[in-house]
Amino acid sequence: MFDQFSYDEYGRLLDMVKTGRENLCFSDFHDSDAPLRYFLLRHDVDFSPRAALKMARFEAQRGVRATYFLLLSSEHYNLLSEDSCSIPRQLIALGHEVGLHYDVRAMGERASEDLRAQLQYEIYILSRLAGNAICSIAMHNPSAHGDDPFANDTHFTSAYDPRFTKAIAYYSDSCGAWRDHAYYAFRESKIPDRLQLLIHPFFWAELPGNRWERLNTWVEESGQKLSEYQEQIRDLWLNHSGVREHENRLTRA
């Protein structure tokens, strides 16, 4: 079974996919032709860089490389924050590739520059965080956000290029679900010779679970973190000299 989304299952899936196939990252296609049998392991980090780092360590222990596409315009995490800013470098140190996951709708809300300039700017920031050149890109939520304005950009390698989605097999766990053709290929050990495998770290954990359990857990953990922030802010304000003067003045009034 490969529909329980546990790390045990993921380990078995990796063992199956890497058997007899060369493990490539998208950056490998800049310098060489593709071998006869290979797989590309891709991760879109939509919710949690910490979940991505955990998966990256799991893969590195098994000698597997992946390309991690990170957002700089996420509503759910801030890659420039103290909590997340070191993660791109850690992914590189583990032997993985870091690529840009770009949100076209967020770009459209910025009126100061054209989309191409914004893409270059995000790539510049991410390259500084990763300590490594960024040469691979992947659009965020293409099924919901329309056409990809960088589909034919020859300066970068796009994960949605037809050579990675049409010319070879393309399996994805989007929304925490496998399409039938992917599920039965895994179950019957009939993996295509060439494959792009898109895995979202958000859906995978030590224990089996489904998309709703993962979502509920993430919301609970996010709420707990907000409560911790609330206490930190309360302590900061309570110990601030200006606040004490303000409160004393109100008390005397």
* Residue 28 shares a structural domain with residue 55: yes
What are the CA-CA distances from residue 53 to residues 67, 166, 185, 251 (Å)?
Answer: 12, 29, 28, 50
- 179: tokens are 């399409």
Per residue in 40-62, pLDDT (tens digit) is: 999 999 999 999 999 999 999 99
Instruction: Please say if the pLDDT value at position 30 is more than 80.
Output: no
CATH number of the domain enclosing 176: 3.20.20.370
* Residue 138 shares a structural domain with residue 155: yes
Give the domain extent around 227: 212-252
* Residue 205 shares a structural domain with residue 218: no
What are the CA-CA distances from residue 12 to residues 18, 65, 85, 136, 159 (Å)?
Answer: 10, 16, 31, 27, 24
Per residue in 90-133, pLDDT (tens digit) is: 999 999 999 999 998 888 777 666 888 889 999 999 999 999 99
Share above pLDDT 90 across residues of the chain, in percent, rounded to a whole number: 83
Instruction: Please say if the pLDDT value at position 213 is more than 80.
Output: yes
The CB-side HSE value for 146 (13 A sphere, CA atoms) comes to: 5
Average pLDDT, the chain: 93
Instruction: Please say if the pLDDT value at position 146 is more than 90.
Output: no
How many domains, the chain? Answer: 2
Please check whether residue 2 lies inside any domain of the structure.
Answer: no
3-class DSSP string for 123-183: HHHHHHHHCCCCCEEEECCHHHHCCCCCCCCCCCEECCCHHHHCCCEEEECHHHCCCHHHH
* Residue 160 shares a structural domain with residue 222: no
* Residue 132 shares a structural domain with residue 231: no
Residue type, 139: M
Q: Whole-model pTM above 0.75?
A: yes
